[in-house]
A and B are shown apart, each in its own frame.
Chain A
Amino acid sequence: MGQKEIFILPCPTLAFTITSKTPTICVIYAGSVSGNNLRFPDKLRNMVERIEDLNLPNAVIARLIKESLPDGANVSKEARAAIARAASVFAIFVTSSSTALAHKQNHKTITAKDILQTLSELDFESFVPSLTQDLEVYRKMVKDKKESKANKKDASTSEKASSSVATEEAAE
């Protein structure tokens, strides 16, 4: 346990324990840990000024939840808040796990592959197929965008190019 480092966020209820092997996230309740074994990293303090910066927008969360439930189902406020919180933590959890994975392979930055592999390691294999599809679509979109930009530059004088770009965008 000696290797463990505890970071605490500006909010008394959220803290992260990060070990080199398996990142875990835990909540430290206010007053349950005495102050001297906590370290507040400068980087983090600059990054997140307010704890609300880590919350995901309520309206979007509410819409996503509604989409996944049968018609007529309701969600209590408390449940929605819990899901939003869980989603933030999930994102942090996956990020730190994939960072660890990337580091293990001597890579400095995480790649899409790292994330997909992490997800299946964390027992979320069911996400991988649809995410792979999304990624393909995304890559294609980025490529198209690049190409259309290049086209625009090439034929900036002729209106034909720009109109074809416009129809392309409309088709999407």
Chain B
Amino acid sequence: MAEQGKQGRTPSSDTFLPLSRVRTIMKSSMDTGLITNEVLFLMTKCTEMFVQHLASEAYKDSFPASKQPSSDTLKYDHLSQLVNKSKNLEFLLQIVPEKIRVHEFQEMLRLNRSGGSDEDDDSGSGSGSESDE
């Protein structure tokens, strides 16, 4: 039907991701009103594009310019690196955080505590050990 394919990609009205699931996700955002079919389609499409964008960017960054068919593996760290340096992926910083070691995390927690706020006093169940106090 439509023969004009830009960027090696033909526009189509097919979606791969399930529309109903995307609708649920959209509804989980606050005060989303009515979701028309058109909007649902568009959102599904752009989520698909986002998945491919994320994967290919992370891959490109980590394995640059190796033209021969490679068998490299895309790992979590490549993703978190990409998220860390891309401005438009900032919203993912806490969703795909860089991995840190447990003792580094405990160090951070300690610094945070001494930093002043005693807001998280009763949060001990998460971290387990609270010997400082």
Contacts and interface: CB of A to CB of B under 8 A. Distances in A.
A and B associate in one complex: yes
B17 A56 contact: yes
A31 B47 CA distance: 31
Nearest to A89: B95
Contact of B126 (A30, A63, A64): A30
A84 B47 CA distance: 10
A94 B22 CA distance: 12
A154 interface: no
Interface in A49-89: 53-54, 56-57, 60-61, 63-65, 67-76, 78-79, 82-89
B119 A34 contact: yes
A128 B86 CA distance: 19
Interface of B: 1-2, 4, 6-7, 9, 11-13, 16-18, 21-22, 24-39, 41-43, 45-56, 58-59, 69-76, 78-80, 83, 87-88, 91-92, 94-96, 119-127
11 contacts: A31-B120, A34-B120, A48-B24, A53-B21, A63-B16, A64-B52, A69-B59, A83-B79, A109-B33, A130-B49, A138-B41
Interface of A: 7, 9, 16, 18, 23-27, 29-34, 41, 43-44, 47-48, 53-54, 56-57, 60-61, 63-65, 67-76, 78-79, 82-96, 99, 103, 108-112, 115-116, 119, 122-124, 126-127, 129-131, 133-142, 171-172
